[in-house]
Amino acid sequence: MLSVLLALLAGQVTPPAKPTPPDVPAAADWRTIPDDELLVMTLAGNRRVVIRLARRLAPEHVANVRALALAHWWDGTSVYRVQDNWVTQWGDQTERKPLPAGVTARPAAEFDLATAFAVGQRTDADAYARMTGITADGWPIAAADGASAWPVHCYATVGVARDASPDTGTGAELFVPIGGSARRLDRNYTIVGRVIDGMPYLSGLPRSDAPMGMYPTAAERLPIVSVRLESDMPAAMRPQYQYRAIDTAGYAALIERKRHPDPPTIGLGGIDVCDAPLPVRAVPRG
Amino acid sequence: MLSVLLALLAGQVTPPAKPTPPDVPAAADWRTIPDDELLVMTLAGNRRVVIRLARRLAPEHVANVRALALAHWWDGTSVYRVQDNWVTQWGDQTERKPLPAGVTARPAAEFDLATAFAVGQRTDADAYARMTGITADGWPIAAADGASAWPVHCYATVGVARDASPDTGTGAELFVPIGGSARRLDRNYTIVGRVIDGMPYLSGLPRSDAPMGMYPTAAERLPIVSVRLESDMPAAMRPQYQYRAIDTAGYAALIERKRHPDPPTIGLGGIDVCDAPLPVRAVPRG
């Protein structure tokens, strides 16, 4: 041992290689997202935003979103609301555009999951829930007890805007949190997905001083050129995405390192459900 | 009682007025922020950002910030980093501009408060701290036990950028969280203040794809015209600001209503330390 140390000091031996960092997933940990669960929104200026739909969390609202995309309903609508430290919102700013056939006008709210949800990775209790975690397929959820759970609003979560009554959101008007906390929307608004690519095109927009951050003039609104399900796009134009599975030893090690990072960084001993990384990558089609 | 009810049904009696909502502070709850604790940063395009300095939390770093402002050191520097879901940062992008006299080159880190801190309003435990709250004068803090405490990084908190070693930040390079969570900076970076006006000018900037969100070209950087302490500004140009005192029954009622809002909003029973409102207002000078 001493001879190794002395050799090291003399620069004669290279130190042992660091173990593979836990944030490098194994090839088998990447899972393909089905084309009909990927929504591609193209904004003016060829800015592309990709949303992964949360079909298991909100089946009826996601069915509406898919019907709206298949009808090309969002084409020609706009991003019309950007409120600082809160949300960016898009859809039909007049809220009067007729909905296409196949869209349920008043779906029941889907912000409480009736049953317990399998968690692939536990995160820590917070001010809003005794239990939190990430499902094996990458959705942040919380629970009050073992019998029920609900999806949580993190940065980049896509939620369903609505009027005061919980069943007034169809999925035509959508929003995404762009600020510090949107957890008070939990159990009050339905979540239909998460922005997995192009988030800066929604978060980096000028904030509006008007009430609720609505853009008061047409010139301020950002036109939506098109919104498509990938399954409705020509094959050559379809980006393919994969998410990292959460129920793996490597991911657990990554979370543990975030709880207790290497010095000199001081760890705080826990990790917030919205602070757990949710890796996604774009890959060439095989 | 029944007669009142019947009269109400008949529209003959107005119902009792709703009590004053707890989010309307009494006049005495507004406290003036001293001019030498207000930093006014004017960006190109006459965009004004106002920062309240946290002198009690980080006296040595705030002294540096005051010295830099009095020397007009930031004039002609820039906002040079905007990383999505993370921070906006400003100062001298070359990190080579000489510091003026009176600035301590390597102040000791000030991210742990040596003693317990009086809390005006308790907020709830989270993934990162067993105890959290807001000081009577409006600074969010956390604690592991009764004997020590630390300021926490929320949206709009102003922190001191630095190299790997904790004592390498002078206060010349500053950052502000613009995304979902920056709590992993707690106990690792020194906090010198909070943006109290003009935050959208820092949060609504285009994100950079370059490493760490640095703007790679001079054209992307947003020029800083000037940074001044209000005490160094002509009286006619000084906006006056007041913060709402936190150690009042009205503020406690506001927090309690956020924990348990009126139906149909579903309350989650708690409030995160970074989700507690910190009201500030601009007022005419008397």
Q: For the stretch A143-181, what's the b/e string if a residue is b when 16 or more beta carbons lie within 10 angstroms of its beta carbon?
A: beeeeebbbbbbbbbbbbbbeeebeebbbbbbbbbbbbb
Window B:246-265, CB contacts with A under 8 Å: 258, 264-265
Calculate mean pLDDT across residues A139-143.
94
Rg (CA), chain B: 22
Closest by Cα among A205, A186, A8 to A87: A205
Residue of B nearest to A206 (CA): B204
- Confidence check: pLDDT of B128 > 90: yes
* Cβ neighbours of A99 (radius 10 Å): 17
> What's the pLDDT at B174?
98
> Which of the two residues, B240 and A116, has the higher pLDDT score?
B240
- For chain A, give the number of residues: 286
> What's the pLDDT at A114?
67
Lowest-confidence pick of A17-26, A63-72, B161-170: A17-26
> What's the pLDDT at A23?
67
> What's the pLDDT at A286?
63
Window B:198-227, CB contacts with A under 8 Å: 199-200, 203-207, 209
What's the count of helices (H) and strands (E) in chain B, helices before strands?
A: 4, 15
Start-to-end CA span in chain A (Å):
50
Contact: A126, B123; criterion CB under 8 Å: no
> What's the pLDDT at B219?
97
> Could you tell me where the beta strands, DSSP code E, fall in A146-221?
148-151, 157-160, 174-177, 191-197
User: Which residues sit opposite B78 in a β-bridge?
Assistant: B91, B223
User: Which residues sit opposite A191 in a β-bridge?
Assistant: A159
pLDDT-based confidence at residue B104 (cuts at 50, 70, 90): very high
* Nearest CB partner across the interface for A275, out of B181, B203, B268: B181
List C-alpha distances in Å: B145 to A99, B115, B150: 55, 10, 11
> What's the pLDDT at B236?
82
CA atoms within 13 A on the CB side of B197: 19
Q: For the stretch A200-213, what's the b/e string if a residue is b when 16 or more beta carbons lie within 10 angstroms of its beta carbon?
A: bbbbbbebbeeeeb
* Nearest CB partner across the interface for B124, out of A127, A184, A187: A127
Contact: B127, A180; criterion CB under 8 Å: no
Tell me if A87 sits within 8 A of A156, measured CB to CB.
Answer: no
- Confidence check: pLDDT of A4 > 80: no
Q: How far is A70 from chain B (nearest CA, A)?
A: 31
Amino acid sitting at position A149: A
- Contacts for B65 with CB less than 8 Å, ≥ 6 apart: B39, B53, B171, B174, B192, B193
CA atoms within 13 A on the CB side of A184: 23
Calculate mean pLDDT across residues A271-285.
94
Q: For the stretch B156-174, what's the b/e string if a residue is b when 16 or more beta carbons lie within 10 angstroms of its beta carbon?
A: bbbbbbbeeebeebbbbbb
Contact: B274, A177; criterion CB under 8 Å: no
- Report how far residue B142's alpha carbon sits from residue B128's, in angstroms, rounded to the nearest whole number: 8
Contact: B268, A207; criterion CB under 8 Å: no
- Report how far residue B63's alpha carbon sits from residue A234's, in angstroms, rounded to the nearest whole number: 61
In terms of average pLDDT, the best of A12-21, A138-147, A217-226, B228-237 is: A217-226
Mean pLDDT for chain A overall: 90
> What's the pLDDT at B115?
66
* Nearest CB partner across the interface for A186, out of B179, B204, B268: B268
DSSP, res B201: H
pLDDT-based confidence at residue B116 (cuts at 50, 70, 90): low
Contact: B268, A129; criterion CB under 8 Å: yes
Is A154 an interface residue toward B (CB < 8 Å)? yes
Tell me if A96 sits within 8 A of A242, measured CB to CB.
Answer: no
- Contacts for B248 with CB less than 8 Å, ≥ 6 apart: B25, B26, B29, B120
Best residue in A128, A132, A188, A194 for a mutation probing chain B (most B CBs within 10 Å): A128
- Report how far residue B100's alpha carbon sits from residue B95's, in angstroms, rounded to the nearest whole number: 14
Contact: B156, A85; criterion CB under 8 Å: yes
- Confidence check: pLDDT of B135 > 50: yes
pLDDT-based confidence at residue A16 (cuts at 50, 70, 90): very low
- Confidence check: pLDDT of B114 > 80: no
Contact: A156, B85; criterion CB under 8 Å: yes
Alpha helices in chain A (DSSP H): 2-9, 59-70, 200-203, 249-259
Closest by Cα among B59, B74, B147, B154 to B110: B59
Residue A280 CA, chain-centre distance (Å), reads 10
Residue A284 CA, chain-centre distance (Å), reads 22
Phi-psi category of residue A141: left, alpha or beta, with phi > 0 → left and psi -120 to 50 → alpha: beta
List C-alpha distances in Å: A133 to A121, A141, B12: 6, 6, 54
Window A:78-137, CB contacts with B under 8 Å: 82, 84-85, 123-129, 132
- Report how far residue B286's alpha carbon sits from residue B284's, in angstroms, rounded to the nearest whole number: 6
Please report the sign of the dihedral spanned by the C-alpha atoms of residue B55, residue B59, residue B60, residue B61: negative
> Which of the two residues, B44 and A116, has the higher pLDDT score?
B44
Which tokens go with A253?
């090690």
Tell me if A52 sits within 8 A of A243, measured CB to CB.
Answer: yes
- Confidence check: pLDDT of A17 > 60: no
Residues of A in contact with B199 (CB under 8 A): 84-85
pLDDT-based confidence at residue A104 (cuts at 50, 70, 90): very high
Calculate mean pLDDT across residues B167-172.
94
**Residue with token string 């409102």:** B277
* Nearest CB partner across the interface for A126, out of B166, B177, B272: B272
Q: For the stretch B234-255, what's the b/e string if a residue is b when 16 or more beta carbons lie within 10 angstroms of its beta carbon?
A: eeeebeebbbbbbebebbeebb
pTM to 2 decimals?
Answer: 0.91
Calculate mean pLDDT across residues A212-219.
97
**Residue with token string 């010095």:** A263
Percent composition of chain A: helix, strand, coil (DSSP 3-state, to 5): 20, 30, 50
ipTM reported for the complex, 2 dp = 0.91
> What's the pLDDT at B21?
58
Residue range B170-222, pLDDT digits in tens:
999 999 999 998 999 999 999 999 999 999 999 999 999 999 999 999 999 99
Q: How far is A1 from chain B (nearest CA, A)?
A: 30
pLDDT-based confidence at residue A24 (cuts at 50, 70, 90): confident
